[in-house]
Amino acid sequence: MKKSGLLFITVVFLVSAGGCVQTQNSSVQDKKLYGGLPTGTPQYMAAQQVFIQSCVPCHSYQGLTQDEMLDEGLAVQGNLDASPLYYRLSNSAGAGGPKDMPPSGALTAADIDKIKVFIESI
């Protein structure tokens, strides 16, 4: 009985110790695999929810930070008419380009406003 009890404890220890061989925190890999979580102002975070819902199926905005949106030229600080992210939206008041995004149909006024507030706030 003693030998089998000792054998059982040894096996349990080895199995549980073997399961803890993680070399990196999984969140380190998440950013590489999934783009990580977006960062930015509260206005950007509200707009990001619209991007995830309506833009990400065709575009790769989900992993972009607020600064990367600016660097990519998708948004121009405080300038709706120069921001493709806004002026391309169906039913937006922006002056530039075709108003054909998203192709599945116009965003709600509230969603357009989230993007407008984000661009005006930067």
**Mean pLDDT for the chain overall:** 74
Say how many domains are in the chain. 1
Interval 84-93 mean pLDDT: 81
Q: Is residue 7 included in any domain, yes or no? A: no
Report pLDDT for 6. Answer: 60
Q: How many CB atoms lie within 10 A of CB 45?
A: 15
Q: Is residue 17 included in any domain, yes or no? A: no
User: What range does the domain containing 63 cover?
Assistant: 36-121
Q: Is the pLDDT of residue 87 over 50?
A: yes
Find the DSSP H helices in the chain. 2-18, 26-34, 42-50, 66-71, 84-87, 109-121
